[in-house]
Amino acid sequence: MSKKFFIRIVFGLLLTLSANAATCSKSYTLGFFNGVWNTEYESFDGTQAVRGLIGNTYNNEPVKYESFYNHTGSSVGATSLQDLAETFIQRANEIDKSGQMGKRFEYFWEFLGSSEPTFLDKLAGFLPNAASLFDSVYTAITTKLTSIISFFLSNPPTEADYTSHNARLDALATDGEKLMLVGHSQGNLFMNHAYDHILPVVTKDRVAAAHIAPASPTLRGNWVLADIDLVINALRIQGVTSVPNINLTIPASKVDVSGHTLSGTYLDPTRDGRGRVKTMIETGMGKLKNSCGHLEYRIIITDHDTIGGEVYHNIGSYLTIPSRDEVITALGYQDWTPVDWDASYVLQYHYDAVTSKSGYYLITNYDALVSASYLKENLPHGPLDGNWYFTEISKLYYYRVIRYVY
Amino acid sequence: MKKILTVLLISFSVAFLLSGCRVTTIEQAIMAAESNGSIPRLNHDNTITGPDKDNNGIRDDIDAYIATLPYTEVQKKAIQQNARALNTTLTVDKTDKTALTDVSTKLVRAVVCIHDKFQDGTTTASKLISENEKMTINTKNRFIEYEKYNSARSGSVTRLPDGDTCE
């Protein structure tokens, strides 16, 4: 088979060790997705700040908070934060030929907006023309931030970046959690993927999304974007038309010159953003429903490809299978091969009923899978263009089988 | 030698201020602000951890700064816990996943602790966290080491702990 027609296929199973037990979880998990230049420390702070906003209970049910951290790079061999630091050093050395400011990274954090500019304010008290000098650095940093976001919009994260986030979402879904996903800045790109990953599993009954300062071309829920957000609004000026409309008008503040940070702007208790974010998240949580009842399994199509230009199967369509045994019978589990976490394939969690071992596996016995009559006869299919095509199971699709609680 | 240079630098800065000369450069403004104490004089040497004479896990200059803050002893302890936790991100083996997880646990517990001790309806806890990061990660060498930690932790998922997380 030519490479053109054989791309790759991974059938995956997500089966849990407690498949026989009915689950009736009555709690929320709020997952927070940080901007990619944030440190883990800042991500924890952001998650905890959201906890302070929503509280440990909602509708008399517990709310747990999890930080879905990402710190990917915006150029080869460097993280986004390293790129920003280089910009700081260059600009600081331009306005201070002695190099003293460029060596003092406390000013980097202030120009970035991660910290209040208390030191810069003190310097301004000594230096009459400080404001104009500092403005040039602020502008350079904001421009760099915007270019980093643009880079991510055209070079989105890879599956490898999402792997552990996906696995955690699968586990939470299996536990019957109601999932409230909150993204800030570029974290919205990661959150969108997380939402798309888990939606077929839990449906809109158990997952909702909220976007804060979304740097994402598409949205999965309500959003809040401030008029003073220089970073996101700069994208619009640059011609990135997919940036959502401004829907929050608040006064500017010296605390966060960028108008973009989570705590400094959007959760600032002295301005209206905080209340709007709280309402947005609680509205999302209010739509979620408890998941109690017996278990079933679904084969879910999570990716698609084409044969000769034709598109088969909608992402997110699924086939319900009543028991784990039937899943195993249908797919043929005998040729599972353990693979490394970092492999570029879509990996899924699998429980081997024979060996009682669980872990991440890559199915290599494609022929056994393709010949699985259960799938051939029952897998729903449909093209993305609204027309129907033939139903043959090909080797060009990704599937997941998950335990589903309803 | 370093001490002599520091004394000379301070002497020049004080002399500069006393002379009544106008501050015209950023360098002069930095020296003036650090000399009169409006900005803390932070350690900027080439080491990753900086001096810690009392061996309490907190850089001496940051220790001294925390002591000047107008908070209760319980609140200062929470700030110190954050300073200690953040320091460990610089020294941990970035290839040891277990050690990295341990450091991350210290970090998240410190964050939850400081928010617990500053429930004043403001963003004081977040400001103190960012201030700690700003003052600890204050040289290029420290920043590079810190970035190695953050990169190693990319993709992780951490649940915020419940209950009392203060040390």
Q: Is B4 exposed, middle or buried (0-12, 13-18, 19+ CB in 10 A)?
A: exposed
Give me the CATH topology for the region A23-72+157-286. Rossmann fold (3.40.50)
Mapping DSSP to helix (H, G, I), strand (E, B) and coil, where does residue A103 land? helix
Who wins on pLDDT, A10 or A399?
Answer: A399
User: Which residues of A fall within a CB distance of 8 Å from B129?
Assistant: 41-42, 45
> Is A132 exposed, middle or buried (CB count within 10 Å of its CB: 0-12, 13-18, 19+)?
exposed
Tokens of B41: 């004089």
What's the pLDDT score for residue A37? Answer: 81
The structural domains of chain B, with segments of one domain joined by +, span 1-39, 46-167
* pLDDT tens profile B131-154: 999 999 999 999 999 999 999 998
The band of A363, judged by pLDDT with boundaries at 50, 70 and 90, is very low
Token pair belonging to B148: 């190695």
**A39-98 residues touching B, CB cutoff 8 A:** 39-42, 44-45, 47-49, 51-52, 56, 64-72, 79, 81-82, 85, 89, 95-98
CA nearest to A70, candidates A61, A79, A78, A62? A79
Q: Quick one: average pLDDT of A29-41?
A: 92
- Mean pLDDT is lowest, of A77-86, A283-292, A381-390, B68-77, for A381-390
Does A317 have pLDDT greater than 70? no
Highest mean pLDDT among A15-19, A128-132, A239-243, B110-114: B110-114
Measure the CA angle with vertex B131, ends A132 and A129; round to 5°: 15
Tell me the C-alpha distance between A403 and A401, whole Å.
Answer: 7
The pLDDT of residue A240 = 56
CA dihedral A166, B111, A219, A9 (to 10 degrees): -10
Q: What are the pLDDT digits (tens) for A146-195?
A: 888 888 777 777 777 788 898 899 888 877 899 999 999 989 989 999 99
Task: Name the average pLDDT for chain B.
Answer: 89
Per-residue pLDDT at A74: 52
Q: Supply the ipTM of this predicted assembly.
A: 0.89
Residue A402 has pLDDT above 50, yes or no: no
B73 pLDDT more than 90: yes
Residue of B nearest to A111 (CA): B134
- Cβ contact, residue pair A127, B147, below 8 Å: no
* pLDDT at position A24: 57
Domain definitions of chain A by residue range = 10-21+294-405, 23-72+157-286, 75-154
Is 90 exceeded by the pLDDT of residue A238? no
